[in-house]
Amino acid sequence: MQKRVQIQSRKAQTVYLPLAASSLTIHSRITSQSQSQNNIVKVVQKQLKVRNRSLKTRNQMQKEILSQTDSCTQKVSTERNLEIDSSIMEPSTTITNKQFQLVWQSPYRPHIYTINFPYPALLQQQRSQQFLVEQIKKPLFYKLQGQVPFKCVLNSFEAAGFERSDDDNWLLYWGLASKETLNEMKRYQKTNHFPGCWSVGRKDNLWIHLSKVKRRFPTEYSFIPNTYLLQYDFERFERIRECAPKKTLWIKKPVASARGNGIKLINKKSKLTADKRYLVMDYISNPHLINNFKYDLRVYVLITSTDPLRVYMYKDGLVRFATQEYSLKSSDIKKRFIHLTNFSVNKQSPNFIANNQDIGKQLKTSKWSHKEYKQQLMDQGINHKLLFKSIQDVVLKTCIAAEPLLLENRITQEHKNNYFELFGFDILIDEKLKPWLLEVNVSPSLNSSSELDAQIKTQLISDMLHLIGLEYHTKKAFRIQIKKKLYERNINDIQSINTRNFRQKVNQEDLDVMIQSLEEQLRLGQFKCLYPNKKNIFEYEQYFEYPRFHNKLIQKYFEDGSNWVI
């Protein structure tokens, strides 16, 4: 591609002169009203001479620039406490046949760009073009943990121009990364699991942390059934079982299993041992039924940061039905297709009906979308908005209770934004329309077993990858990253911060944390921000085990009416 020199005459005429792209750029503007056409001709001749000299030395200049860049890079990389991203250290050479791609430009930090994830073709919709700008196209890479990705993941990466790589030049690592990989991650790299995330997916660990908060707030945390860890609570449970009414039921689950494996109902006569691999929960025997079938809701929840805590809930999800009509007869206790709603269980039933046709018209299928479910509730005269507000409350309170689990397993505090996590919450609705938390799943299934699954999960993953903000580096914005110092902060200092002095009171790390929260809320897609949220941030403050500086800082920002000029 050739650069051009623009010369303007007194008549506002423009003359374009082609120059070699690697030559010195010459900008000559003749704006005086007294200049004649002869002067313009002289300047043109002078520019042509420069062009000819430039063409002769073009190759030599390129070699010199390349060698200077290489030597500079080698010198800087030997410095301590510096990180060099070699994939963005571009030589100052001519770029011909430029190709551009759209990236998301932050309105708060104009030098920061993040990867735009267009919706894959099967969704047949376009993402908002707001804040999208053109940048020179660069290779984008993701890495997998030796597994074949689900189609919804693969399609989302391909739509954004990503390629799979086995090297270390990736922007996103999909899978459970090793401790070594986590330690060596650069600031702009991300992985889809928090260190120690599996402890949240264990039913025993989650109950331990939920029960701590439940002891402080028994009414507010009454959304989880009473749970007994057989390793510790066996004798207490046996006393409770002995005194319970004759037809009382409980549900026995493995503490570290999923997809319905090892789950069964028990009654007063069932044999039980103090097996540390299992827990027992009160069975919700009065579920809300649709067409006389039991169901539960799969709710997708995204956490993009733990310090500060940032929680999002997806607006759509799945409704999973049992495949036999509900019954509490003693002869039906062992019938899994009546009492379990797990897809992995019910897909084996001869009564299972896949949702493979027009979404919204298949109300006899064994799996619905949340949109279909809400419409059904409306038809029954039920306020679905109030119900889902209660579900959001359950989700957020659970995330707050699990926050210490995620923080205590953090490997390094240096880069707080390297991780994100998608959870699958299983919620049961009882006949009084109260939501109950059954369990939280790490790595919820992304398998597209039907057209409904493909639609929901593809948009879910695309929106998630767009929201998390994978940084797209330019030479101007990021060449060398100096590692940040870690600061000890006093939460009491926040009270003295106000609209006028906050620039002096907070450091760059604090400012970045705030801006990242605001930026994410501009890339939501179909996600809804549960926290931090101006409407509820003060209400939920009481449920945190410990106050965190950055949580309190964002709270202060909202308290001051979001008037800080960031």
pLDDT bucket at 408, cuts 50 / 70 / 90: confident
At residue 437, does pLDDT exceed 80? yes
pLDDT the model gives residue 373: 96
Percentage of residues in the chain having pLDDT higher than 70:
76
Q: Which two tokens stand for residue 256?
A: 């570290």
140-144/162-164 β-pairing? parallel
| pLDDT greater at residue 565 or residue 109 | 109
pLDDT the model gives residue 94: 36
Mean local confidence (pLDDT), 348-362 = 70
At residue 25, does pLDDT exceed 90? no
Q: Which residues of 272-284 are buried (b: 16+ CB within 10 A; e: fewer)?
A: eeeeeebbbbbbb
Least confidently predicted of 62-71, 86-95, 322-331: 86-95
Torsion of CA 260, 220, 210, 488, to 10 degrees: 140
Q: How far apart are CA 463 and CA 467, in angstroms?
A: 6
| Amino acid found at 396 | L
pLDDT bucket at 558, cuts 50 / 70 / 90: confident
| pLDDT greater at residue 479 or residue 418 | 418
Least confidently predicted of 75-84, 217-226, 473-482, 508-517: 75-84
% helix, strand, coil for the chain, step of 5: 35, 20, 45
Nearest to 99 by CA among 136, 133, 128, 67: 136
Taking a C-beta distance cutoff of 8 angstroms, is the pair 428, 394 a contact?
no
Nearest to 43 by CA among 3, 4, 7, 2: 7
Task: Quickly count: other Cβ atoms within 10 Å of residue 97's Cβ.
Answer: 5
pLDDT the model gives residue 566: 62
Q: 350-358 contacts: CB < 8 A, separation 24 or more?
A: 351/323, 351/324, 352/323, 354/449, 354/450, 355/450, 355/451, 355/452, 355/453, 356/450, 356/451, 356/452, 357/451
| pLDDT greater at residue 43 or residue 76 | 43
Taking a C-beta distance cutoff of 8 angstroms, is the pair 281, 245 a contact?
no
pLDDT bucket at 68, cuts 50 / 70 / 90: very low
Q: Which residues of 111-147 are buried (b: 16+ CB within 10 A; e: fewer)?
A: ebbbbbbbbbebbeeebeeebeeeeeebebbbbbeee
What does each C-alpha distance from 465 to 174, 239, 415, 469, 527 come to in angstroms? 11, 49, 19, 7, 12
Taking a C-beta distance cutoff of 8 angstroms, is the pair 303, 190 a contact?
no
Least confidently predicted of 43-52, 141-150, 197-206, 449-458: 43-52
Mean local confidence (pLDDT), 90-116 = 73
Residue 472 burial (CB < 10 Å; 0-12/13-18/19+)?
buried
| pLDDT greater at residue 561 or residue 286 | 286
Give the DSSP H or E segment for 227: strand 227-229
At residue 51, does pLDDT exceed 80? no
Taking a C-beta distance cutoff of 8 angstroms, is the pair 123, 455 a contact?
yes
Mean local confidence (pLDDT), 354-380 = 80
Domain ranges of the chain: 3-75, 174-215+287-566, 226-283
Cα end-to-end distance, the chain, whole Å: 39
Q: Where are the alpha helices (DSSP H) in 219-369?
A: 230-243, 336-339, 343-346
State the greatest distance between any 2 C-alpha atoms of the chain, in Å, as a whole number.
109
The DSSP call for residue 259 is T
Range of 81-90, 102-111, 362-371, 500-509 with top mean pLDDT: 102-111
What does each C-alpha distance from 295 to 266, 338, 374 come to in angstroms? 20, 10, 14
Mean local confidence (pLDDT), 337-365 = 77
At residue 5, does pLDDT exceed 50? no
| pLDDT greater at residue 446 or residue 15 | 446
Cβ-proximal residues to 49 (8 Å cutoff; 6+ apart), any chain: none
Domain 174-215+287-566: give its CATH code.
3.30.470.20
227-229/172-174 β-pairing? unpaired
At residue 339, does pLDDT exceed 80? yes
The DSSP call for residue 431 is T
264-266/421-429 β-pairing? unpaired
Q: How far apart are CA 549 and CA 45, in angstroms?
A: 65
Taking a C-beta distance cutoff of 8 angstroms, is the pair 253, 281 a contact?
yes
Q: Which two tokens stand for residue 493?
A: 């200092």
Residue 361 burial (CB < 10 Å; 0-12/13-18/19+)?
exposed
Taking a C-beta distance cutoff of 8 angstroms, is the pair 527, 475 a contact?
no
240: left (phi over 0), alpha (psi -120 to 50) or beta: alpha
pLDDT bucket at 113, cuts 50 / 70 / 90: very high
pLDDT bucket at 488, cuts 50 / 70 / 90: low
140-144/250-254 β-pairing? unpaired
Least confidently predicted of 20-24, 103-107, 112-116, 264-268: 20-24
At residue 465, does pLDDT exceed 60? yes
pLDDT the model gives residue 16: 36
**CA angle, residues 442, 461, 453, in degrees to nearest 5:** 85
The DSSP call for residue 122 is G
pLDDT averaged over every residue in the chain:
80
Mean local confidence (pLDDT), 164-182 = 91
At residue 547, does pLDDT exceed 50? yes
Least confidently predicted of 282-291, 334-343, 552-561: 552-561
pLDDT tens for each residue of 240-290 = 999 999 999 999 999 887 666 789 899 999 999 998 899 999 999 999 999
Mean local confidence (pLDDT), 200-207 = 88
Mean local confidence (pLDDT), 187-205 = 88
pLDDT bucket at 65, cuts 50 / 70 / 90: very low
Mean local confidence (pLDDT), 87-96 = 34
pLDDT the model gives residue 201: 83
